[in-house]
Amino acid sequence: MKFPVHNLKGEKVKDIELSESVFGLKPNDLLLHQVYVSQYANRRRVLAHTKDRAERAGSGRKPWRQKGTGRARVGSVRSPIWRKGGVIFGPTKNRNFKKEIPKKMNRKALTVTLSGKAKDKEIIIVDSLKIKEPKTKLIKQTIDNLKLKGSVLFGFSRDERLAKRAIRNLQRVDDIDVENLNVFDILNHKYLVMSEEGIKFLESKYK
């Protein structure tokens, strides 16, 4: 499976052979859906939280004596039936939305995703992502030279991490370390840009 390699100026440099076991697999929408939903759930932050009677502010003293007043029995001003009391069945921060996916399924889903991107020509391979200075202008010129229109995800190897600082101010452009590539981030971007070094790392890890 041959794939073109460009330089940062957008010029084609050569062709490289991609591994069929990583970039040439058949589609599997059911597997991708399972893994995508699980990764989405694992990133979910629990924000809504209501205080129960133990968390509400208020005295622990009994408001009035148990009998003889003619009023209903009350044990605390933090009772849920009182104004400013605790909430009984409200949402709490103790909810857990995490889902577990077996490692083999996760690895398989990632290679299927990479294969789909390669088939749609949405993986852009460059000879190197190393830049002398972490300037946003250089990355913006690279995107324009490669004629990428849409959201872009840059996958950086360990030696290319200096360039990560250059894309912070660009809209619809994100970065990730190649060893942390995942189905969720890849599918949320139209293009995946990597260097030859990043491609070799993926092939050695998932082949």
pLDDT single digits (tens) 125-165: 999 988 888 889 989 999 999 999 999 999 998 888 888 88
Residues of the chain with CATH 3.40.1370.10: 2-27+102-206
The count of other CB atoms within 10 Å of the CB of residue 183 is 24
* 3-state SS class at 166: helix
User: Which is nearest to 18 in space by CA: 121, 131, 146?
Assistant: 121
What would the pLDDT profile of 29-53 be if each residue is shown by its tens digit?
999 999 999 999 999 999 999 999 9
Neighbours of 174 (CB within 10 A): 15
pTM for the whole structure: 0.83
130 Cβ contact list (under 8 Å, min separation 6): 159, 160, 162, 163, 195
Instruction: Report the C-alpha gap between 32 and 105 in whole angstroms.
Output: 9
In angstroms, the CA 36 to CA 56 distance is 38
Architecture per CATH, domain 2-27+102-206, reads as: 3-Layer(aba) Sandwich (3.40)
Centroid of chain to Cα 113: 14
* Three-state secondary-structure class, residue 16: strand
CA 34 and chain centroid, separation = 15
